[in-house]
Amino acid sequence: MPQRIVAGNWKMNGSRDFAAAYLAALAGDVLPGSGCDVLLFPPATLLPLLATRVEELGIELGIQTVHPEPEGAFTGEIAAEMAVDAGATWTLIGHSERRQLLGESDADTALRALAARRAGLKPMLCVGETLVERQGGDAESVVTRQLDAVLDVLGEDLAAGGIAYEPVWAIGTGETASPEMAQAMHGMIRGVLRRRSARLAEMPILYGGSVKPANAAALFAEVDIDGALVGGASLDPAAFQAIIKAMETHGNP
Protein backbone atom coordinates (compact mmCIF):
# COMPACT_ATOMS: atom_id res chain seq x y z
CA MET A 1 0.00 0.00 0.00
CA PRO A 2 1.23 3.55 -0.62
CA GLN A 3 2.55 5.43 2.39
CA ARG A 4 -0.05 7.76 3.94
CA ILE A 5 1.12 11.37 4.29
CA VAL A 6 -0.29 14.61 5.65
CA ALA A 7 1.96 17.53 4.73
CA GLY A 8 1.77 21.19 5.70
CA ASN A 9 3.02 23.91 3.34
CA TRP A 10 3.55 27.09 5.32
CA LYS A 11 4.43 29.01 2.14
CA MET A 12 5.97 32.43 3.01
CA ASN A 13 4.60 32.50 6.55
CA GLY A 14 6.10 32.01 10.00
CA SER A 15 8.66 33.39 12.42
CA ARG A 16 10.83 31.65 15.02
CA ASP A 17 8.21 32.46 17.67
CA PHE A 18 5.44 31.05 15.49
CA ALA A 19 7.43 27.84 14.89
CA ALA A 20 8.16 27.35 18.59
CA ALA A 21 4.50 27.83 19.54
CA TYR A 22 3.41 25.53 16.71
CA LEU A 23 5.68 22.71 17.85
CA ALA A 24 4.48 23.10 21.41
CA ALA A 25 0.89 22.73 20.19
CA LEU A 26 1.75 19.68 18.09
CA ALA A 27 3.82 17.87 20.72
CA GLY A 28 2.22 15.02 22.60
CA ASP A 29 -0.88 14.82 20.44
CA VAL A 30 -0.49 13.65 16.86
CA LEU A 31 2.90 12.11 17.05
CA PRO A 32 4.29 9.53 16.84
CA GLY A 33 1.97 6.68 15.90
CA SER A 34 -0.47 8.88 14.05
CA GLY A 35 -0.92 6.22 11.36
CA CYS A 36 0.52 8.45 8.69
CA ASP A 37 3.72 10.34 8.02
CA VAL A 38 3.59 14.03 8.89
CA LEU A 39 5.68 16.50 6.89
CA LEU A 40 6.15 20.22 7.30
CA PHE A 41 7.38 22.53 4.54
CA PRO A 42 8.25 25.74 6.41
CA PRO A 43 10.12 28.70 4.94
CA ALA A 44 13.81 27.78 4.61
CA THR A 45 14.76 30.21 7.38
CA LEU A 46 12.94 28.03 9.93
CA LEU A 47 14.39 24.65 8.93
CA PRO A 48 17.32 24.70 11.41
CA LEU A 49 15.06 25.59 14.33
CA LEU A 50 12.43 22.97 13.46
CA ALA A 51 15.14 20.38 12.77
CA THR A 52 16.07 20.34 16.46
CA ARG A 53 12.67 18.80 17.30
CA VAL A 54 11.85 16.43 14.43
CA GLU A 55 13.08 13.22 16.02
CA GLU A 56 11.19 13.81 19.21
CA LEU A 57 8.01 14.69 17.27
CA GLY A 58 8.39 11.99 14.63
CA ILE A 59 7.88 14.40 11.75
CA GLU A 60 9.93 15.13 8.65
CA LEU A 61 10.86 18.49 7.18
CA GLY A 62 10.95 19.70 3.62
CA ILE A 63 12.01 22.79 1.74
CA GLN A 64 9.60 24.49 -0.66
CA THR A 65 11.87 24.34 -3.71
CA VAL A 66 15.52 23.75 -4.59
CA HIS A 67 17.77 25.23 -7.28
CA PRO A 68 19.02 22.82 -9.96
CA GLU A 69 22.69 23.59 -9.29
CA PRO A 70 24.61 22.42 -6.19
CA GLU A 71 26.35 25.79 -5.65
CA GLY A 72 27.35 28.96 -7.43
CA ALA A 73 26.40 32.51 -8.38
CA PHE A 74 22.63 32.23 -8.01
CA THR A 75 21.76 35.03 -5.59
CA GLY A 76 18.79 34.24 -3.40
CA GLU A 77 18.58 30.57 -4.35
CA ILE A 78 19.05 27.49 -2.14
CA ALA A 79 20.69 24.26 -3.32
CA ALA A 80 19.28 20.85 -2.44
CA GLU A 81 22.50 20.06 -0.58
CA MET A 82 22.01 23.18 1.58
CA ALA A 83 18.45 22.12 2.37
CA VAL A 84 19.76 18.74 3.55
CA ASP A 85 22.37 20.54 5.66
CA ALA A 86 19.57 22.61 7.24
CA GLY A 87 17.56 19.50 8.16
CA ALA A 88 15.27 18.83 5.18
CA THR A 89 14.56 15.32 3.92
CA TRP A 90 11.86 16.35 1.40
CA THR A 91 11.34 19.14 -1.11
CA LEU A 92 8.30 20.40 -2.95
CA ILE A 93 8.85 20.45 -6.70
CA GLY A 94 6.75 22.47 -9.13
CA HIS A 95 4.27 23.97 -6.67
CA SER A 96 1.68 25.83 -8.74
CA GLU A 97 2.60 29.16 -7.14
CA ARG A 98 6.10 28.71 -8.55
CA ARG A 99 4.78 27.60 -11.91
CA GLN A 100 2.23 30.46 -12.10
CA LEU A 101 3.98 33.35 -10.34
CA LEU A 102 7.62 32.60 -11.10
CA GLY A 103 7.27 31.00 -14.52
CA GLU A 104 8.76 27.62 -13.58
CA SER A 105 8.41 25.37 -16.62
CA ASP A 106 8.01 21.60 -16.82
CA ALA A 107 11.70 21.42 -17.81
CA ASP A 108 12.63 23.42 -14.68
CA THR A 109 10.69 21.05 -12.46
CA ALA A 110 12.56 18.09 -13.95
CA LEU A 111 15.95 19.72 -13.27
CA ARG A 112 14.96 20.59 -9.71
CA ALA A 113 13.69 17.05 -9.10
CA LEU A 114 17.00 15.72 -10.41
CA ALA A 115 18.90 18.05 -8.06
CA ALA A 116 16.75 16.88 -5.17
CA ARG A 117 17.57 13.23 -5.79
CA ARG A 118 21.28 14.01 -6.27
CA ALA A 119 21.25 15.40 -2.72
CA GLY A 120 19.13 12.56 -1.35
CA LEU A 121 15.95 14.61 -0.88
CA LYS A 122 12.55 13.03 -1.47
CA PRO A 123 10.64 15.05 -4.11
CA MET A 124 6.97 15.89 -3.64
CA LEU A 125 6.01 16.67 -7.23
CA CYS A 126 3.05 19.05 -7.48
CA VAL A 127 0.85 18.83 -10.56
CA GLY A 128 -2.50 20.37 -11.40
CA GLU A 129 -4.51 22.19 -14.02
CA THR A 130 -5.82 25.76 -14.07
CA LEU A 131 -9.52 26.55 -14.26
CA VAL A 132 -9.22 27.48 -17.94
CA GLU A 133 -7.50 24.17 -18.66
CA ARG A 134 -10.21 22.23 -16.81
CA GLN A 135 -13.00 24.12 -18.54
CA GLY A 136 -11.30 23.47 -21.86
CA GLY A 137 -11.29 19.71 -21.18
CA ASP A 138 -7.51 19.65 -20.87
CA ALA A 139 -7.09 18.77 -17.17
CA GLU A 140 -5.88 15.21 -17.75
CA SER A 141 -3.51 16.07 -20.58
CA VAL A 142 -1.95 18.92 -18.57
CA VAL A 143 -1.39 16.72 -15.51
CA THR A 144 0.00 13.90 -17.68
CA ARG A 145 2.37 16.34 -19.37
CA GLN A 146 3.59 17.64 -15.99
CA LEU A 147 4.16 14.08 -14.74
CA ASP A 148 5.90 12.91 -17.91
CA ALA A 149 8.30 15.86 -17.84
CA VAL A 150 9.75 14.61 -14.56
CA LEU A 151 9.32 10.87 -15.17
CA ASP A 152 11.23 11.12 -18.46
CA VAL A 153 14.24 12.47 -16.55
CA LEU A 154 14.03 10.67 -13.19
CA GLY A 155 12.31 7.42 -14.14
CA GLU A 156 11.82 5.07 -11.19
CA ASP A 157 13.82 7.32 -8.90
CA LEU A 158 10.76 9.54 -8.55
CA ALA A 159 9.30 6.70 -6.45
CA ALA A 160 11.45 7.90 -3.55
CA GLY A 161 8.98 10.78 -3.13
CA GLY A 162 5.32 11.53 -3.71
CA ILE A 163 2.88 13.25 -6.04
CA ALA A 164 0.56 16.07 -4.95
CA TYR A 165 -2.42 16.67 -7.23
CA GLU A 166 -3.35 20.29 -6.64
CA PRO A 167 -5.86 21.81 -9.04
CA VAL A 168 -4.76 25.44 -9.31
CA TRP A 169 -8.34 26.70 -9.05
CA ALA A 170 -8.64 25.05 -5.60
CA ILE A 171 -5.46 26.43 -4.01
CA GLY A 172 -6.09 29.11 -1.42
CA THR A 173 -9.53 29.81 -2.89
CA GLY A 174 -11.78 27.87 -0.51
CA GLU A 175 -12.91 25.80 -3.55
CA THR A 176 -12.18 22.08 -3.19
CA ALA A 177 -12.44 19.43 -5.83
CA SER A 178 -15.24 17.04 -4.89
CA PRO A 179 -13.95 13.69 -3.62
CA GLU A 180 -15.20 12.06 -6.84
CA MET A 181 -13.46 14.64 -9.02
CA ALA A 182 -10.21 14.29 -7.07
CA GLN A 183 -10.42 10.48 -7.14
CA ALA A 184 -10.89 10.52 -10.92
CA MET A 185 -7.66 12.48 -11.36
CA HIS A 186 -5.78 10.42 -8.75
CA GLY A 187 -6.85 7.24 -10.55
CA MET A 188 -5.61 8.72 -13.82
CA ILE A 189 -2.27 9.63 -12.19
CA ARG A 190 -1.96 6.10 -10.75
CA GLY A 191 -2.49 4.76 -14.26
CA VAL A 192 0.30 6.96 -15.67
CA LEU A 193 2.63 5.74 -12.93
CA ARG A 194 1.59 2.08 -13.36
CA ARG A 195 2.32 2.18 -17.08
CA ARG A 196 5.89 3.15 -16.13
CA SER A 197 6.47 0.61 -13.34
CA ALA A 198 4.88 -1.26 -10.44
CA ARG A 199 7.13 0.60 -8.00
CA LEU A 200 5.99 4.00 -9.27
CA ALA A 201 2.36 2.85 -8.97
CA GLU A 202 2.91 2.46 -5.22
CA MET A 203 3.81 6.14 -4.77
CA PRO A 204 1.68 8.15 -2.37
CA ILE A 205 -0.63 10.53 -4.25
CA LEU A 206 -1.74 13.46 -2.08
CA TYR A 207 -4.59 15.85 -2.80
CA GLY A 208 -4.11 19.57 -2.21
CA GLY A 209 -6.42 22.55 -2.58
CA SER A 210 -8.27 24.11 0.35
CA VAL A 211 -8.17 20.92 2.44
CA LYS A 212 -9.71 21.59 5.85
CA PRO A 213 -10.90 19.49 8.80
CA ALA A 214 -14.43 19.67 7.37
CA ASN A 215 -13.62 18.15 3.97
CA ALA A 216 -10.60 15.94 4.75
CA ALA A 217 -12.44 12.76 5.78
CA ALA A 218 -14.47 12.50 2.57
CA LEU A 219 -11.35 13.02 0.47
CA PHE A 220 -9.34 10.43 2.44
CA ALA A 221 -12.04 7.81 1.98
CA GLU A 222 -11.29 7.69 -1.75
CA VAL A 223 -9.16 4.73 -2.80
CA ASP A 224 -6.37 6.62 -4.56
CA ILE A 225 -6.13 9.59 -2.17
CA ASP A 226 -3.21 8.74 0.10
CA GLY A 227 -3.00 12.01 1.98
CA ALA A 228 -3.10 15.77 1.70
CA LEU A 229 -0.81 18.71 1.04
CA VAL A 230 -2.33 21.42 3.18
CA GLY A 231 -1.57 25.12 2.77
CA GLY A 232 -3.63 27.66 4.69
CA ALA A 233 -5.11 25.23 7.22
CA SER A 234 -1.66 23.91 8.14
CA LEU A 235 -0.84 27.26 9.77
CA ASP A 236 -3.33 26.43 12.51
CA PRO A 237 -1.91 23.49 14.51
CA ALA A 238 -5.37 22.46 15.73
CA ALA A 239 -6.73 22.32 12.16
CA PHE A 240 -3.62 20.47 10.96
CA GLN A 241 -3.99 17.93 13.78
CA ALA A 242 -7.66 17.45 12.90
CA ILE A 243 -6.68 16.67 9.30
CA ILE A 244 -4.09 14.14 10.52
CA LYS A 245 -6.74 12.53 12.71
CA ALA A 246 -9.13 12.38 9.74
CA MET A 247 -6.46 10.40 7.90
CA GLU A 248 -6.11 8.01 10.86
CA THR A 249 -9.84 7.44 11.00
CA HIS A 250 -10.94 7.58 7.37
CA GLY A 251 -7.80 6.90 5.32
CA ASN A 252 -7.18 3.64 3.53
CA PRO A 253 -5.36 1.19 5.83
Where in the sequence numbering do the catalytic residues fall?
A: 95, 166
Among 58, 155, 172, 191, binds ligand PEP (CB under 6 A): 172
| Residue choice 14, 128, 179, 209 for contact with ligand PEP (CB under 6 A) | 209
Left, alpha or beta for 118 (phi > 0: left; psi -120 to 50: alpha)? Answer: alpha
Are the C-beta atoms of residues 1 and 222 closer than 8 Å to each other?
Answer: no
Q: Is 231 in the site for ligand PEP (CB under 6 A)?
A: yes
Nearest residue (CB) to ligand PEP, 139 versus 230 = 230
Closer residue to ligand PEP in complex, CB, 100/249: 100
The alpha-helical segments, DSSP class H, found in 67-211 are 80-85, 96-101, 106-118, 131-135, 139-154, 179-196, 198-201
Q: What type of residue is 118? A: R
For the bound state, the minimum distance from the C-beta of residue 44 to ligand PEP, rounded and expressed in Å, comes to: 16
Integer Cα distance of 129 and 124 in angstroms: 17
Burial of 133-157, coded b for 16+ CB within 10 Å and e otherwise, reads bbeeeebbebbbebbebbbebbeeb
In the region spanning residues 31 to 70, those forming contacts with ligand PEP, defined by CB under 6 A, are none
- Which of 68, 204, 208, 227 touches ligand PEP by CB under 6 A? 208
Q: Taking CB under 6 A as the rule, which mask of x and - marks residues 107-126 in contact with ligand PEP? A: --------------------
Rounded (5°) CA angle 204-22-8: 20
155 binds ligand PEP (CB under 6 A): no
Bridge partners for 227 per DSSP: 5, 206
Residue 247 is a binding residue for ligand PEP (CB under 6 A): no
CB 7 within 8 A of CB 30: no
Which stretch, 72-80, 135-143, 204-212, 244-252, contacts ligand PEP (CB under 6 A)? Answer: 204-212
Q: Report which residue's Cβ sits closest to ligand PEP.
A: 231
# residues contacting ligand PEP (CB under 6 A): 14
Q: State in angstroms the smallest separation of the CB of 71 from ligand PEP.
A: 28
Alpha-carbon gap, residue 144 to 117, rounded angstroms: 21
Compute the distance between CA of residue 31 and CA of residue 17 in angstroms, rounded to an integer: 21
166 sits near ligand PEP (criterion: CB under 6 A):
yes
Q: Which listed residue (39, 54, 168, 229) binds ligand PEP by CB under 6 A?
A: 229
Residues at the interface with ligand PEP (CB under 6 A): 9, 11, 166, 171-172, 208-211, 229-233
